[in-house]
Amino acid sequence: MKSIKLFITTLFATAGVLSLAATATASDEWYLGATAGHYDLDGQRSISEDYNSVTAGLHLGKYLSDNVALELGYGANVGHDDFDVLSLNSVIWLGEEASQWRPYMLFGANQYDFNDASNLVAGHDDRSTQLMVGLGMGKQFNGLEFRADLRGMGGHDEDGEDFGVQISLSKLFGGTAAAAPAPAAAPVVAEPRAESQAAPQPKPEPEVRTITVRLNVEFEFNQAKVLAIYGDQLEAIAAAMKAHDDIELVLEGHTDSRGSDQYNLSLSQRRADAVKAKLVEDYGIPGARVSAVGYGESRPIATNNTDSGRARNRRVVGEMSFSEVFKF
């Protein structure tokens, strides 16, 4: 009856472990391993008073979460067939890093089958169920799990206590191996932000340019009157002279070949003087800055054998050049 009570108590404890595991992260990992142990059974059970035994066996386990496993084990005497043991244990790891040494706790139940009842004290059954608690150390490496623990068993008789030590080496199946810590991310170095405005470009050197303003006033045959159509030219050259008061203008008068040399020389002078008068009187240019010279028919620029050629030769021309600085 006592054995039945102990077994029921163990089932309730195991149910508590299963409930704890259900609240943790589920695991698909199994393990199968070989065990070796030494059991020191209470002498009150044995006629010989010393029932020490070395056992070897197997166990099969299932991880319910990363730190909780449930396992079923079997062991038997090595060298003689005095007894064998069937166990149902819960394993609770107390550390988080499986690849490092960490402690664990065991609790569950062992059932002994004594094959030779003659070694037992009268009144003791050849089958016995006991509660088991234990404490050990273990680690995982290369897909394997090593454990070593000290176990205490009780419940067969009121004042009897059994002890044992066990080591095991198991192969892990399913699940995923603990991933190596991810390498630390390289620090992100912020690129310096480009200035919103480009660096100022060096200013180009000022450029000095030479400006030439030309005047070309043509006249009708035997006339020295300045026609109104030349007003724009006169205004342009007057503006240039006002902007550059250090420049003087020379006006050159010309005629075609008709008429005597003396007459044409006088006519060319009158034409040059007429243009000068326009600049002085209409545009306010000081007379001292304008010179007028007549060359008669001596400097033609076109043939005098045609009307169009003679028209081009009846002219007053002037030219002035000056320098201006252009800044960019």
pTM over 0.75: no
CA distances from 232 to 52, 236, 279 (A): 135, 6, 12
Q: What is the mean pLDDT of residues 13-38?
A: 71
pLDDT band at 178 (very low <50, low <70, confident <90, very high): very low
Q: What is the mean pLDDT of residues 119-142?
A: 77
CA–CA dist 127, 117 (Å, integer): 10
CA–CA dist 11, 106 (Å, integer): 14
Predicted pLDDT of residue 99: 82
CA–CA dist 163, 210 (Å, integer): 118
pLDDT band at 294 (very low <50, low <70, confident <90, very high): very high
CA–CA dist 108, 14 (Å, integer): 7
Predicted pLDDT of residue 227: 96
Q: What is the mean pLDDT of residues 127-144?
A: 87
Predicted pLDDT of residue 18: 54
Q: Reply yes or no on whether the pLDDT at 194 is more than 80.
A: no
**Domain edges within the chain:** 2-173, 207-326
- Are the C-beta atoms of 320 and 284 separated by less than 8 Å? no
Predicted pLDDT of residue 80: 61
SS3 content of the chain, % helix, strand, coil (to 5): 25, 40, 35
Q: What is the mean pLDDT of residues 53-65?
A: 89
CATH topology of domain 2-173: Porin (2.40.160)
Task: For residue 243, give the amino acid letter.
Answer: A
Predicted pLDDT of residue 266: 96
145 burial type by CB count under 10 A (0-12 exposed, 13-18 middle, 19+ buried): buried
- Name the average pLDDT for the chain: 81
CA–CA dist 181, 271 (Å, integer): 105
Predicted pLDDT of residue 158: 44
Of all helices (H) and strands (E), which one includes residue 93? Answer: strand 83-93
pLDDT band at 134 (very low <50, low <70, confident <90, very high): very high
Q: Reply yes or no on whether the pLDDT at 125 is more than 60.
A: no
Predicted pLDDT of residue 8: 54
pLDDT band at 27 (very low <50, low <70, confident <90, very high): confident
Predicted pLDDT of residue 260: 95
Helices (H), the chain: 2-22, 231-243, 261-283, 307-313
Within a 13 Å sphere around the CA of 104, how many CA atoms are in the beta-carbon half? 28
CATH H-level superfamily of 207-326: OmpA-like domain (3.30.1330.60)
CA proximity to 327, closest of 209, 205, 240: 205
Predicted pLDDT of residue 177: 44
Q: Reply yes or no on whether the pLDDT at 291 is more than 90.
A: yes
Q: What is the mean pLDDT of residues 8-27?
A: 55
Q: Which range is least confidently modeled, 49-63, 112-126, 143-157, 240-254?
A: 112-126
Q: What is the mean pLDDT of residues 279-297?
A: 95
